[in-house]
Amino acid sequence: MGISSKSFSKKPVREESALTATLRRIDIRFPWLKIVGVVVLGLIVIMDLFGLTISRIGDPGDKISIAPMARHVKITERVLEGKKLVALTFDDGPSAETTPVLLNTLRERDVPATFFMLGSRARNNPDIVKKVKEEGHEVASHTMYHQNLIRIPASAAAADIDEAKGILKSILGQDVSLTRTPYGNVNDTVRGFVGTPIILWSVDTLDWKIKNTDSIVGITMSEVSDGAIILMHDIHPTSVEAVPRLVDTLRDAGYEFVTVSEMAEMHGIKLANGVSYYSL
Tell me the catalytic residues. Answer: 91, 233
228 vs 225: CA distance, rounded Å:
5
Task: Return the closest-CA partner of residue 133 out of 98, 163, 168.
Answer: 168
169 vs 174: CA distance, rounded Å:
5
Provide the H-helix boundaries in the chain.
18-29, 32-49, 62-65, 68-79, 99-109, 119-124, 126-134, 154-172, 188-193, 207-210, 213-223, 237-252, 260-266
- Cβ atoms of 226 and 54 within 8 Å: the answer is no
| 138 sits in which H/E element | strand 138-141
227 vs 107: CA distance, rounded Å:
22
- Please report, for residues 104, 181, 273, the alpha-carbon distance to residue 60 in angstroms, rounded to integers and kept in the order given: 18, 41, 42
- The Cβ of residue 169 has, within 10 Å, a number of other Cβ atoms equal to 13
Residue 88 has phi, psi (to 5 degrees) of -90, 125
- Cβ atoms of 220 and 205 within 8 Å: the answer is yes
87 vs 263: CA distance, rounded Å:
7
